[in-house]
Amino acid sequence: MKLTEGKSRQVFATESEDEVRVFHKDDETAYNGIKHVIIPGKGIIINKISAILYETLERNGIATHYIRTIDDRQQLCRKVDPIRLEFIVRNYAAGDMTERLDVKTGTKLSIPVVECCYKSDELDDPIINRSYAIALGMASREELDLIEEELGHINLVLTSLFHEVGIKLVDFKVEFGRLADGTLLVCDELSPDSCRLWDEQTDDSMDRDRFRYDLGNVGEMYEEVLRRLSNFINE
Ligand code: C5P
């Protein structure tokens, strides 16, 4: 039974109440789904990249929803109660930040910037601050403290992994969900669709910006990210 369908993933129930099956589709979208294309085989690449990223986080003590890869397109994941917030961590200025503020794309930020957004397609995921999130019951103060600490750790682990393969982690988005006992897990998508990845030598985009800004070779660049990560992991 299908539980939910997002822009690039479907989530199915399993025999276990505590686990779900996540299926990666070939859809590539931008601007809240306004721009949309099918890239044949993209779901297979995303499934593999996402598994490498989740396994790396787990190896480094970060609790995530990922359990294991089932096949080419599917992962078995822990079922969580999703928190309706998206957290964006920025190491360099790009995208929305450069449109809102007078800061040039590619500027190195002196500390990582963390943004908290209310997850709502209708409202275009507006940025909110901690007091909104707490006042509106989206997360507790304690949960936000834990998440902030975890975001710093995730940023260090992913920045270092990508650096090993010649890629700059410009920014990324992550989400969190709760288990029945309140434990927080990183969940949802983790891939070049939810990160900005620039080649360290050329500053070429290797992420969804290739699609957003019509830079071409989206699938090829995703494959290149996978090739570099796989080579590094299998070294
Ligand atoms: O658009 P913006 O500059 O805020 O995006 C920051 C980072 O978060 C980018 O890597 C983008 O791909 C990711 N993001 C996402 N899903 C959203 C919003 C942003 O994956 N709904």
Calculate what percentage of the chain has a pLDDT beyond 70: 100
Q: How far apart are CA 33 and CA 43, in angstroms?
A: 17
CA of 17 relative to ligand 1 center, distance in Å: 31
Measured from the Cβ of residue 53, the count of other Cβ atoms closer than 10 Å reads 26
In 3D, which of 49, 113, 121, 124 has the Cα closest to residue 87? Answer: 113
What pLDDT is stored for residue 150 in this prediction? 98
Q: pLDDT, tens digit, for every residue of 85-109? A: 999 999 999 999 999 999 999 999 9
User: Ligand 1 pocket: which residues have CB below 6 Å?
Assistant: 86, 88, 94-97, 125, 171-173, 194-196, 208
CA of 200 relative to ligand 1 center, distance in Å: 20
Query: What is the distance, to the nearest Å, from the Cα of residue 218 to the centroid of all Cα atoms in its chain?
Result: 17
Angle between helices 141-164 and 42-59 (to 10 degrees): 110
Partners of 209 in the beta sheet? none
Q: pLDDT, tens digit, for every residue of 14-67? A: 999 999 999 999 999 999 889 999 999 999 999 999 999 999 999 999 999 999
What pLDDT is stored for residue 50 in this prediction? 98
- Compute φ and ψ for 231, nearest 5 degrees: -60, -45
Q: How far apart are CA 221 and CA 69, in angstroms?
A: 22
Question: Do the beta carbons of residue 187 and residue 64 sit within 8 Å?
Answer: yes
Determine the atom of ligand 1 nearest the C-alpha atom of 119.
21
Q: pLDDT, tens digit, for every residue of 109-126? A: 999 999 999 999 999 999
Question: Do the beta carbons of residue 76 and residue 18 sit within 8 Å?
Answer: no
Q: Whose CA is nearest to atom 12 of ligand 1?
A: 194
Q: Whose CA is nearest to atom 8 of ligand 1?
A: 173
Calculate what percentage of the chain has a pLDDT beyond 90: 99
The mean pLDDT of 149-165, rounded to a whole number, is 98
DSSP annotation string for 68-135? EE-SSSEEEEE--EE-SEEEEEEEE--THHHHHSS--TTPEEEEEEEEEEE--TTTT--EE-HHHHHH
What pLDDT is stored for residue 119 in this prediction? 96
The mean pLDDT of 139-158, rounded to a whole number, is 98
